Structure 1
Amino acid sequence: MVFRFLEQEVDAFVRMQLLDLARTLARRPQVRIDFDLSSYFDPESQTIYISQFWDELDDPKMQLEGMKSDVYIRSMEIKASDRSAIARYMSRAAASARPKLATQLFIMAEELRLSLAMMAERPGTQRVFDVRRQVYTRYFARRLPGHVRRGEQGDALFTALYLWLTANEVDPRVPGISAELYQLLKQLQPQLEWLMDASSTAEVAERCWGIVEALDVHLAGDMQTTYWAWPKSRVPEPEPQVDIDPLKRASLLKAYDEEGEQKVKEDQRKDQKLPMWHQDTADKTDHFLQFELEEGARSTALGGVLRQSDSGDQAVGMVQGSAHRSSRDDYEDPQTVLKRLETLADEQKALMGDINRHVKPVFVPPKPASQADRTAYEELIRHISPFKRKLMKTIQLILEHKHTAAREFLPFGRLTRKLTRLLTEDSPRLFYKKKNPSRQIDAAFMLLVDCSASMYDKMTETQRGIALFHECLRGLSIPHMVTGFWEESGEGKSGTYPNYFQPVIEFSRSLLPDSGPAIMQLKPQQDNRDGYAIRLMSAHLLERTEARRFLLVFSDGEPAAQNYEAEGILDTYQAVLEARRKGIDVIGIYLAGEQVPEKVQQTFRNIYGRHSIVVPHVNELNDHLLPILRKLLLKAMV
Structure 2
Amino acid sequence: MTSVNRFIQFNDETIDTKLLHQMELLAGAMADAPYLKVTTRKLVELRPSESALSMSVFWRHRTKKIERHGYLSDIYLMAAGFWRHFDLQDWREFKKTDSKLPSLREQLLLCAEEFRLSEFIKISRPGTTGAFNTREDVYTTYHEDQSKQNLKKSFRADLLINAAYLQLRGKDIDTGEKLLGLSFIWTELFEAKSTKDSVKIVNRMMDRLEFLLESDARHTYYTFGEDVEKVPPFHYHEGIRAERAENPEEIDTIEEWFDAWHRETKLAETPAMEFELERGDSQLAEGGREAEGTGEVQQTAKGDSTGEYKEDSHVEDRQMNSKPKKAEGEFGSANDQVVYHESRLKASSDHRLTIENWRRKQTPYVRSLLKELKKRMTQRQEGIRSNLNAGRLSKKLVPLVVEERPKPFYRKTAPSKELDAVFCLLIDGSASMLDKLEETKQAVLLFHDVLRGLDVPHEIVLFYEDAYEASDAEQPNYFEWMHKFEDRKKDHAETIASFDAHEDNRDGFAIRWMSKRLKRRTEKHRFLLVFSDGEPSAYNYAENGVVDTANAVTEAKKQDIEVLHLFLSSNSISEDQAAFYRKMYGNKSVSADSLEQFVEQTLRLLKRSLHLVIKSG
Secondary structure, in 3 states, of the residue corresponding to 1:444? strand
Which of 536, 543, 549 does residue 520 from structure 2 map onto?
A: 543
Aligned residue identity for 1:470? H
For 2:223 and 2:100, locate their aligned partners in 1 and report how far apart those are by CA, in whole Å.
18
The answer as to 2:358 corresponding to 1:380 is yes
Number of residue pairs aligned between Structure 1 and Structure 2: 529
Shift of 1:214: 6.0
Instruction: Look up the match of 2:275.
Output: none
The answer as to 2:60 corresponding to 1:82 is no
The alpha-carbon distance between structure 1 residues 82 and 109, as it changes in their structure 2 partners (threshold 3 A), is same
Shift of 1:633: 1.4
Aligned residue identity for 1:235? V
Secondary structure, in 3 states, of the residue corresponding to 1:491? coil
Matches for 1:287-302 after TM superposition, within 5 Å: none
CA deviations over 1:448-483 (Å, ceiling 9, x no partner): 111111111222222222222211111111111111
Matches for 1:300-311 after TM superposition, within 5 Å: none
For 1:405 and 1:342, locate their aligned partners in 2 and report how far apart those are by CA, in whole Å.
53
Instruction: Look up the match of 1:579.
Output: 556
The answer as to 2:544 corresponding to 1:567 is yes
CA contact (8 A) 1:109 1:195 kept: yes
The alpha-carbon distance between structure 1 residues 118 and 603, as it changes in their structure 2 partners (threshold 3 A), is farther
Aligned residue identity for 1:355? A
For 2:507 and 2:424, locate their aligned partners in 1 and report how far apart those are by CA, in whole Å.
14
Matches for 1:18-417 after TM superposition, within 5 Å: 18-54=23-59, 62-63=66-67, 65-76=69-80, 77-92=82-97, 95-145=98-148, 147-148=150-151, 153-167=156-170, 174-179=172-177, 181-182=179-180, 184-185=181-182, 188-189=183-184, 191-213=185-207, 219-221=212-214, 223-230=216-223, 233-236=226-229, 335-339=314-318, 349-370=328-349, 372-402=350-380, 403=383, 417=397
The more displaced of 585-594 and 204-213 is: 204-213
Which of 589, 605, 611 does residue 634 from structure 1 map onto?
A: 611
CA contact (8 A) 2:46 2:226 kept: no
Shift of 1:485: 1.0
CA deviations over 1:601-629 (Å, ceiling 9, x no partner): 11211211222222244431222233331
CA contact (8 A) 1:373 1:518 kept: no
For 1:405 and 1:63, locate their aligned partners in 2 and report how far apart those are by CA, in whole Å.
55
Aligned residue identity for 1:139? Y
For 1:409 and 1:199, locate their aligned partners in 2 and report how far apart those are by CA, in whole Å.
72
The alpha-carbon distance between structure 1 residues 89 and 404, as it changes in their structure 2 partners (threshold 3 A), is farther
The alpha-carbon distance between structure 1 residues 181 and 433, as it changes in their structure 2 partners (threshold 3 A), is closer
For 2:580 and 2:314, locate their aligned partners in 1 and report how far apart those are by CA, in whole Å.
38
The more displaced of 387-396 and 399-408 is: 399-408
Tell me the TM-score normalized by structure 1. Answer: 0.73
The answer as to 2:489 corresponding to 1:511 is yes
For 1:455 and 1:414, locate their aligned partners in 2 and report how far apart those are by CA, in whole Å.
60
The alpha-carbon distance between structure 1 residues 604 and 7, as it changes in their structure 2 partners (threshold 3 A), is closer
CA deviations over 1:265-306 (Å, ceiling 9, x no partner): 97xx89xxxxxxxxxxxxxxxxxxxxxxxxxxxxxxxxxxxx
For 2:606 and 2:426, locate their aligned partners in 1 and report how far apart those are by CA, in whole Å.
15
CA-based RMSD of the aligned residues comes to: 3.9
The answer as to 2:599 corresponding to 1:625 is no
CA deviations over 1:197-255 (Å, ceiling 9, x no partner): 323323322333334346578x35454333335468433479xxxxxxxxx99xxxxxx
Secondary structure, in 3 states, of the residue corresponding to 1:521? coil
Instruction: Look up the match of 1:11.
Output: 15
Q: Percent identity?
A: 29
Shift of 1:9: 3.7
The more displaced of 125-134 and 336-345 is: 336-345
For 2:149 and 2:497, locate their aligned partners in 1 and report how far apart those are by CA, in whole Å.
66
For 1:127 and 1:25, locate their aligned partners in 2 and report how far apart those are by CA, in whole Å.
17
Aligned residue identity for 2:330? L
CA deviations over 1:101-154 (Å, ceiling 9, x no partner): 322210101111222233334434333333332333233323435555666554
Shift of 1:520: 0.6
Instruction: Look up the match of 1:588.
Output: 565
The more displaced of 22-31 and 156-165 is: 22-31
For 1:455 and 1:415, locate their aligned partners in 2 and report how far apart those are by CA, in whole Å.
63
CA contact (8 A) 1:461 1:619 kept: no
For 2:414 and 2:103, locate their aligned partners in 1 and report how far apart those are by CA, in whole Å.
82
The alpha-carbon distance between structure 1 residues 72 and 345, as it changes in their structure 2 partners (threshold 3 A), is farther
Shift of 1:41: 0.9
For 2:530 and 2:595, locate their aligned partners in 1 and report how far apart those are by CA, in whole Å.
15
Unpaired stretches in structure 1, ≥5 consecutive residues: 239-247, 250-261, 271-330, 421-429
For 2:480 and 2:558, locate their aligned partners in 1 and report how far apart those are by CA, in whole Å.
26
CA contact (8 A) 2:337 2:472 kept: no
